[in-house]
Structure 1
Amino acid sequence: MPPNPALPPGPKGTFLLGNLRQFTDRRIGFFQDVAREYGDLASFRFGPRRLYLASHPDLIEQVLVTDARHYIKHFGARMYSPVLGNGLVTSEGDFWLRQRRLSQPAFLKSRVLSYAPVVADLTDRFLAGWKDGDHIDVHTAFSHLTSVIALKTFFGLDDVGDREAFVAALREAFTLLSSRFARIVRPPDWLPTRENRRVKAAIAQLDKVVAHIIALGKQRGGTGDDLLARLLAARDADGSAMTDRQLRDEAMTLYLAGHETTALTLAWSWYLLSQHPAAEEKLAAEWRTVLGGRTPTADDLGRLPYTDAVLAEVMRLYPPVYLIGREATKDLELGGYRVRRGTTVFMCQAVSHRDPRYFGPDPDVFRPERWLDGLAGRIPKYAYYPFGGGPRVCIGNGFAAMEAAVVLAAVGQRYRFTLDPDAVIDVEPQITLLPKHGIPATLRCRV
């Protein structure tokens, strides 16, 4: 049966903007409303651009797995290429496959578990600077820690200078680039507008730090077993090495993806636990029983089921990457409808992960126990997909899971976090799901 030439149902928008204003005002709420009101495959419009939202696990699997070879990254993802370049997140085709194969050995399970002592040691050092009563921003603190871990495990470095400047530049660049997502008319990058000048200044600061990381790696002569050493030693069939630009793009991508998503998982974990003391006490009880106050090792990770359940529940409610988009490279069929070449299909974890068909009548409630009775094996695979899926599933998902579990247990045995009473917690959807106003809290020693 040929696909329906009509469009999937969806909200009506204005003549010029379509649904762009609704999306801009409340990005995640817009996707949730569309899925709730118009079903598993809906359509909407950003100006002249027609888009689909696929919310059923079977449709998501078709896009990410079955028809993956006929989709590329969407127009929104390409907007971040000034920062990420042509790295693993943004590259396509044979070039992406080559880079993926080159990077894969560093993320094998045995290699990931070998990093656990490094993660534990760096966390212990980090905690040495904390004391009871300190006021911190939880997201900022864990972003600092995970960046240190990424530098050591991926690049073999103890530290680089200008960390605060790098983080500030990263936020500046992504905030500005994210704002372009919701515009119909965008000035070209070469036009010297105030915004473009700010983006270029931020990227120049990022490039400075990444160039320093690469220079330090080259000084070691490509020795070592970290990912940077592998990238430096890589050779094409003709014997040529990666260009400096290729090295820059992969290092930038790994540094960002290697620390920001885990930092967000940890930050949202402590926010949710601060609001659910019974779950936090159950978690602390597991640590007392299994760990007895010591920092966890790789061998401990399989004996912390409630820790795993907490992290799964956090990534269900606050998936660090909350939206995936794919652009069709040819006319395709999806859910009985035609997907024309050039059409973007969005898949929103923030929608799928709160679907009552799979997570029960209380999908918005933080309840780690839902994962302890085999839920992961009962729900469709693409009802829960915090790391994406298909050939382009996040290469660092195993590392992120290990790191989050080790850090959560190491920190949580010593401290709990009391949210500031006047804190306003809200989300800011950029390329990741940020806490818009941070997560201000007070450290309290756990007794």
Structure 2
Amino acid sequence: MKEFPDAPLIRYRTVANTEVLVCNSLNSHKELLQTKCYSFRKPDWWLHTVGEMTGRGILSMEGEEHHAARRSLAGAFSLGNVRKLEPVVRTKAKDIGLVFDRAIAANKSGKCGIIDCTDTFSKLTLDIIGVSMLGIDLANITSTTFGGHGNDSGEKNRMTDGETEDYTFHHAYNENREFLFATNWISSTLIQIIRSRRRQVAEAMSAGKYVRSESCDVPTYLIEESMPGGLAEGITEKDFVGHLLQLMAAGHETSANVLSWGLYIMANRQDIQSKLRDEITALVAQVPEPTYTEIDRLQYLDHFIKESLRVFSSATTLHRKSIEDLTIEGIPIPKGALFDIAPSMTLLNPLIWGNDADEIKPSRWEHLTEEQSSPYAFEAFSNGPRICLGRLFAYMELKIILFEIIRNYRFLSVVKPFTVENPSLTLRPRGLEVRFEKVA
């Protein structure tokens, strides 16, 4: 992209000399994501890979089936329903302070602590997803066994600088078996939750005590819509589980990544962190416990989140395969052509964002050019008919969590070098540890 910033498409070759086209211009992104969206589908390798982990759900569906699935799920992620979840996010955002405080207490000096950002925020966002998606409090954050520092419990990174450490076929076989057991266990657990929730709804309706407007978690909402005349009427249990698995996977990991990169930025850019805290402190001076409506009005916080998403887009690449002959930007494309849609191609394009496109600069959002204002210049949540269903919830989650931790903690430095997971479906830092202290 830096070499050919004005090219509509860029070609490269991958495994077995397979040709892949990468969208590079705003118009090519618009055609693939919006105007000709359903002329493409996910490639077979993607469906196979993701299907092993999450089954078949809305992210795997295409055409009218995908359109119908979105209609059935849209209400669960409407602004009204998202606002019902504000107390959940606020409670969990305050709970994360327990982890930060334990990390400080674990330090002999008692003045500062260290957290592994990805590990910490993955547990936090999974807790939030547990309540919002399943109606169940997983209580990862409040568990006393979680101190916020270190890699995932029980996880061993056996790869060091590309070399294996005593890794054998036996290890691989056992881990593959554990993976299969885990995926089957999750699916079975979700089926139990769905069936239990169906019974609860049916019993409450029979007793005349069911209030539909009070539901906010996804299973309950889908159960309501699966009733005769509902948007999800006829949904199979398999698709129900697939939707939940894919929404959970997409929802908690991406938010955790954004929060991790946010702390990375603040630890390296004290000027940005100070501006954020000044804005938050000014609001707290007027309203000690502001609502999300008030937090949402914090302009610099909003710009910081958007700039974090722009430079460190959690979604790395969307993969598509053409299902018919067509043209993109006037270029003939045959049926079966493979495409990569990398949000960073427009998010970091110097012709769109300037020569400082790689720099973190929240102030750039104060005055956007016409090109920068294009929805295809900012694709952190994708675009078109497949735009992220949970983007409104994600913004609320990110703003409330960052509000709470910035008002209470100061991030001092990144402790040591870290890596980015590869291969990975998201831009996920590994081993990103940040040193912090309590704000006086």
TM-score by length of 2: 0.81
Q: Cα distance, 1:206 vs. partner?
A: 3.4
Q: Cα distance, 1:268 vs. partner?
A: 0.6
Match of 1:60 among 10, 29, 33: 29
Structure 2 residue 20 is the aligned partner of structure 1 residue 44: no
303-312 or 287-296: bigger deviation? 287-296
Match of 2:261 among 256, 268, 275: 268
Question: Which residue of 1 is the match for residue 42 of structure 2?
Answer: 73
SS in 1 for 2:100: coil
Q: Cα distance, 1:254 vs. partner?
A: 1.8
Question: Which residue of 2 is the match for residue 107 of structure 1?
Answer: 77
SS in 2 for 1:130: helix
Give the Cα separation in 1 of the matches to 2:282 and 2:28: 43
Question: Which residue of 1 is the match for residue 341 of structure 2?
Answer: 347
One-letter amino acid of the structure 1 residue matched with residue 74 of structure 2: Q
> Stretches of 4+ moved more than 6 A in 1?
160-164, 192-195, 236-240
Q: Cα distance, 1:126 vs. partner?
A: 3.0
Deviations 1:110-153 (A, max 9, x none): 22223222211221133234313332211111111111111112
SS in 1 for 2:137: coil
SS in 2 for 1:261: helix
Question: Which residue of 1 is the match for residue 183 of structure 2?
Answer: 203
Contact preservation (8 Å) 1:120, 1:295: no
Give the Cα separation in 2 of the matches to 1:444 and 1:199: 38
Match of 2:60 among 90, 104, 126: 90
Structure 2 residue 94 is the aligned partner of structure 1 residue 124: yes
Question: Which residue of 1 is the match for residue 331 of structure 2?
Answer: 337
SS in 1 for 2:125: helix
One-letter amino acid of the structure 2 residue matched with residue 311 of structure 1: I
SS in 2 for 1:89: coil
CA spacing shift, 1:199–1:376, aligned 2, 3 Å: farther
Superposition pairs of residues 280-295 of structure 1, within 5 angstroms? 280-292=273-285, 294-295=288-289
CA spacing shift, 1:310–1:115, aligned 2, 3 Å: same
Deviations 1:384-418 (A, max 9, x none): 11100110100111110111011100111001233
Give the Cα separation in 2 of the matches to 1:263 and 1:408: 12
292-301 or 257-266: bigger deviation? 292-301
Question: Which residue of 2 is the match for residue 214 of structure 1?
Answer: 194
SS in 2 for 1:433: coil
What's the C-alpha RMSD, in Å, of the aligned pairs? 3.1
Question: Which residue of 2 is the match for residue 20 of structure 1?
Answer: none
Superposition pairs of residues 113-192 of structure 1, within 5 angstroms? 113-131=83-101, 132=104, 133-159=112-138
Give the Cα separation in 2 of the matches to 1:209 and 1:136: 31
CA spacing shift, 1:218–1:419, aligned 2, 3 Å: farther
SS in 1 for 2:201: coil
TM-score by length of 1: 0.79
Aligned residues, how many? 394
Question: Which residue of 2 is the match for residue 418 of structure 1?
Answer: 412
Give the Cα separation in 1 of the matches to 2:115 and 2:99: 12
One-letter amino acid of the structure 1 residue matched with residue 348 of structure 2: R
Contact preservation (8 Å) 1:120, 1:297: no
SS in 2 for 1:325: strand
331-340 or 38-47: bigger deviation? 38-47
Mind listing any 5+ residue stretches in structure 2 that lack a counterpart?
A: 105-111, 146-150, 159-171, 203-209
Give the Cα separation in 2 of the matches to 1:375 and 1:216: 52
One-letter amino acid of the structure 2 residue matched with residue 325 of structure 1: H
Deviations 1:311-333 (A, max 9, x none): 00111111111211221110111
Mind listing any 5+ residue stretches in structure 1 that lack a counterpart?
A: 1-31, 176-191
Give the Cα separation in 2 of the matches to 1:398 and 1:38: 32
% same residue: 23
Question: Which residue of 2 is the match for residue 385 of structure 1?
Answer: 379
Deviations 1:221-243 (A, max 9, x none): 36633211122233376996533
Match of 2:222 among 231, 235, 245: 231
Give the Cα separation in 1 of the matches to 2:312 and 2:352: 17
Question: Which residue of 2 is the match for residue 367 of structure 1?
Answer: 361
Give the Cα separation in 2 of the matches to 1:125 and 1:194: 35
CA spacing shift, 1:160–1:207, aligned 2, 3 Å: farther
Contact preservation (8 Å) 1:319, 1:350: yes
CA spacing shift, 1:119–1:98, aligned 2, 3 Å: same
CA spacing shift, 1:96–1:374, aligned 2, 3 Å: same
CA spacing shift, 1:217–1:137, aligned 2, 3 Å: farther
Q: Cα distance, 1:68 vs. partner?
A: 1.2
Question: Which residue of 2 is the match for residue 323 of structure 1?
Answer: 317
